[in-house]
Amino acid sequence: MARVEAFEVLKPGILTTVQDLGRYGFSQFGVPPSGALDPFSFRIGNLLVENQEEEASLEITIMGLKLKTLRDVVIAITGGDLFPTLNGESLEMWRTHLLVEGDVITFKRIRSGCRAYLALSGGFALPKIMGSRSTYLSGKFGGLQGRALKRGDILYTLDRPPPLNKLGLRFPSDWIPSFEKETVLRVIPGSHDHHFTEKGFKTFSSSTYQVTPQCDRMGVRLEGPKIERRSDVEESIISEGLISGAIQVPGDGKPIIILTELVTGGYTKIATVISTDLTKVAQLKPGDRVRFEPISIEKAHLLLIEQEGRLREFKRFVEQC
Amino acid sequence: MGDRGLLLEFGDEISPEVNEKVRRMALAIRATSIEGIVETVPTYRSLLIHYNPLILSIEELKKRLKGIENGLQQAPFPEPKLTRIPVLYGGSYGPDLEEVAKYHQISPEEVIRLHCSKPYFIYMIGFMPGFPYMGELPQELVTPRLKTPRLSVPAGSVAIAQRQTGIYPMESPGGWQLIGRTPAKLFDPEKEPPALLQMGDLVQFYQISEKGFKEWHE
């Protein structure tokens, strides 16, 4: 299928990257998954515009992205509410819209959350690197030349008729996640419990932590009460594999939530955020406050099955439209 | 680890024996290709398995892994491959060479001779794409990390820290002592496989001149 121009980047905003659901199978070469930090919002976006769930979309951070539409396209915006506008008018999120040539979309400022996704029917036509179109920023590959979007970039799509029968389609409002400034993240304790004192774990599970400005696609550094560790075990561990949501506690006792651009690490881990709550982690921004609530792995799996059920149900609904 | 990671541990030390167990298991899992295993991350002494609990329950995963473990001894295991890596030591290419020599009260030439004196075993590739963690350094070269990590280490830098030696495939921040630089390209996302070096293989460093560095090609 031919490639055609879809958008021109008038302003790239703070950080806008092309992401899909990530690059798997290459960690033995030191390559982290990358991919959308909030996979739930990302997948809903693609379902709304009749794409495959893993089709590449734009991940927009905080504010400032301004795009000019170069042909008629169908889009949906999901994730954090970054106040998207169409030609200056507020644009409803979590539903499909038809944009016509010349339309301008702007993400003005944060109303809630931190990251929005712009899904485009037909996807963003870019080569796959190691099986994925995700941008890996520190590795400088994937997505658009391994970098964030910049002014003047032209974004291409496949020349496919827009799904006009899907216009106005909405994701059910009571299923839309809300992203508050104070949030509870459910975690599964481990795997280095023996490195922390009982008091240290209690501090972790009962305190409120604040998100610092050190938060990017690699991790979210938190500020708050110091987590006490046992003095008779070493501070660091022999480097091992990481998974997004893992909470590392380095020597200073302040937790860091790991995201998708890291593959191995040598700090002790006190717990891991459950899969369904990664959407909330992706939407944290400096100043937000979090608490951690330990739950069992069985409970986490049930929550995941429940979330997947909603996704499946919505997918069936879209297909019938 | 969490609700979609399982960490298999094979020992609590850095040794080629423990590392070989990790590698055998990683190879066997890859050869079996179990639906629901998303990724395996082999490291020094453990193997992290990312699984999709919607496809594969943790009980079923553990059962399948047990089965693989029982058949491990029969599984084929490749011989280590030796790769020779050229290095231009010292000067602006290895800004810490003099300090390392001073720390051990030996000459920079002696540091170079020792660094090239034996092949190193690659324990894992991690931290960044294509970065090999290798050991063990001769006892006379065991050096602590820098007190303050550099904000930027040039691509190709050959470095040492404690009993390990490594190579930075791309520019990044880093706290290891830089003793030289290689013109060899350690990572290329367009290549198959993308990394020049692999876990379980061996590396022999050899010294080249500045002229050799500039004229070097693969």
| Residue A130 contacts B where some CB pair is shorter than 8 Å | yes
Distance from CA of A251 to the nearest CA of B (A): 15
Q: How many domains does chain B have?
A: 2
Alpha helices in chain A (DSSP H): 39-48, 198-206, 278-282, 297-320
The mean-pLDDT minimum among A220-224, B67-71, B104-108, B211-215 falls in B67-71
- B47 and B121 in a single domain? The answer is no
What residues contact A41, with CB distance under 8 A and at least 6 apart? A78, A79, A80, A115, A116, A117, A177, A279, A282
- Model confidence at A235: pLDDT above 80: no
- B148 and B93 in a single domain? The answer is yes
DSSP helix/strand/coil, A266: strand
- B46 and B153 in a single domain? The answer is no
- B208 and B104 in a single domain? The answer is yes
Q: Measured between beta carbons, which residues in chain A are less than 8 angstroms from residue B199?
A: 28
| Interface with chain B: mutation pick from A239, A261, A292, A299, highest number of B CBs within 10 Å | A239
Show which of residues 169-198 on chain A sit within 8 Å of chain B, judged by CB atoms. Answer: 187-188, 190-191
The whole-number pLDDT of residue A173 equals 94
- B114 and B210 in a single domain? The answer is yes
Q: Which of B74, B102, B135 is the last residue of a domain?
A: B74
| Residue A83 contacts B where some CB pair is shorter than 8 Å | no
**Rounded Cα distance, A176 and A77, in Å:** 12
The whole-number pLDDT of residue A290 equals 98
C-alpha torsion sign, points B165, B171, B177, B181: positive
What residues contact A315, with CB distance under 8 A and at least 6 apart? A47
Radius of gyration of chain B (CA): 19
A194 token code pair: 């023996």
| Interface with chain A: mutation pick from B1, B3, B24, highest number of A CBs within 10 Å | B3
Specify whether the CB–CB gap between B94 and B178 falls below 8 A. yes
| Interface with chain B: mutation pick from A129, A187, A243, A258, highest number of B CBs within 10 Å | A243
ipTM: 0.93
The whole-number pLDDT of residue B16 equals 92
The three-point CA angle A66-A69-A73 to 5° equals: 125
DSSP helix/strand/coil, A23: coil
- Model confidence at A20: pLDDT above 90: yes
- Model confidence at A320: pLDDT above 90: no
The three-point CA angle B126-B113-B175 to 5° equals: 35
Q: Measured between beta carbons, which residues in chain A are less than 8 angstroms from residue B47?
A: 241
Specify whether the CB–CB gap between A177 and A278 falls below 8 A. no
The whole-number pLDDT of residue A231 equals 84
Strand partners, A182: A289
- B65 and B87 in a single domain? The answer is no
**CA-closest candidate to residue B183, choices B202, B153, B150, B207:** B207
The mean per-residue pLDDT over the stretch B162-176 comes to 94
Specify whether the CB–CB gap between A51 and A118 falls below 8 A. no
Q: Measured between beta carbons, which residues in chain A are less than 8 angstroms from residue B193?
A: 29
Distance from CA of A52 to the nearest CA of B (A): 18
**Rounded Cα distance, A210 and A197, in Å:** 22
Confidence of residue A58 (pLDDT cuts 50, 70, 90): very high
- B127 and B204 in a single domain? The answer is yes
Q: Measured between beta carbons, which residues in chain A are less than 8 angstroms from residue B172?
A: 138
- B117 and B165 in a single domain? The answer is yes
DSSP helix/strand/coil, B136: coil
**Rounded Cα distance, A4 and A17, in Å:** 19
- B87 and B153 in a single domain? The answer is yes
Confidence of residue A267 (pLDDT cuts 50, 70, 90): confident
Q: Measured between beta carbons, which residues in chain A are less than 8 angstroms from residue B194?
A: 26, 29, 31, 130
Q: Measured between beta carbons, which residues in chain B are less than 8 angstroms from residue A238?
A: 12-14, 43-46
Question: Could you give the dihedral angle defined by the CA atoms of residues B201, B202, B207 and B213, in that order, rounded to the nearest 10 degrees?
Answer: 0
Point out the residue among B38, B58, B126 whose CB comes nearest to the CB of A30.
B126
What residues contact B105, with CB distance under 8 A and at least 6 apart? none
Q: Mind listing the pLDDT tens digit for each residue in A183-220?
A: 999 999 988 878 899 999 999 999 999 999 999 999 99
User: What count of residues does chain A have?
Assistant: 321
Question: Residue B168 sits in which domain range?
Answer: 82-215
Asked if A27 and B133 come within 8 Å (Cβ–Cβ), the reply is no
Q: Measured between beta carbons, which residues in chain B are less than 8 angstroms from residue A235?
A: none
Element (H, E) at B23: helix B16-32
- B58 and B158 in a single domain? The answer is no
Q: Mind listing the pLDDT tens digit for each residue in B9-49?
A: 999 899 999 999 999 999 999 988 899 999 999 999 999 99
Question: Angle formed by the axes of helices B58-70 and B16-32, to 10°?
Answer: 110
Asked if A246 and B1 come within 8 Å (Cβ–Cβ), the reply is yes
The mean per-residue pLDDT over the stretch A14-35 comes to 96
DSSP letter at B25 equals H
The whole-number pLDDT of residue A233 equals 80
Q: Measured between beta carbons, which residues in chain A are less than 8 angstroms from residue B3?
A: 188, 272, 274-275, 297, 300-301, 304
**Rounded Cα distance, A305 and A59, in Å:** 25
Characterise A87 by phi-psi region: left (phi > 0), alpha (psi -120 to 50), beta (else): left
The whole-number pLDDT of residue A162 equals 84
Longest dimension (CA), chain B: 59
Of all residues in chain B, the percent with pLDDT exceeding 90 is: 88
Q: In the β-sheet with A84-86, what is the strand arrangement from edge to edge?
A: A89-90, A84-86, A104-107, A65-69, A3-12, A154-158
The mean per-residue pLDDT over the stretch A235-259 comes to 91
- B50 and B105 in a single domain? The answer is no
The whole-number pLDDT of residue B74 equals 74
Point out the residue among B50, B126, B172 whose CB comes nearest to the CB of A264.
B126
CATH of the domain at B33: 3.30.1360.40
Question: Could you give the dihedral angle defined by the CA atoms of residues A300, A171, A57 and A139, in that order, rounded to the nearest 10 degrees?
Answer: -20
Q: Which of B20, B46, B74 is the last residue of a domain?
A: B74
Asked if A139 and B3 come within 8 Å (Cβ–Cβ), the reply is no
pTM value is 0.94
Point out the residue among B43, B58, B195 whose CB comes nearest to the CB of A240.
B43
Q: Mind listing the pLDDT tens digit for each residue in B195-208?
A: 999 999 999 999 99
| Residue A58 contacts B where some CB pair is shorter than 8 Å | no
- Model confidence at A276: pLDDT above 90: yes
Q: Average pLDDT of chain A?
A: 95
Q: Which of B57, B74, B91 is the last residue of a domain?
A: B74
Point out the residue among B1, B3, B39 whose CB comes nearest to the CB of A304.
B3
CATH of the domain at B120: 2.40.100.10
- Model confidence at B114: pLDDT above 90: yes
Distance from CA of A185 to the nearest CA of B (A): 12
**Rounded Cα distance, A259 and A35, in Å:** 10
Q: Which domains does chain A have, with CATH numbers?
A: 3-175 (no CATH), 182-302 (2.40.100.10)
- B97 and B199 in a single domain? The answer is yes
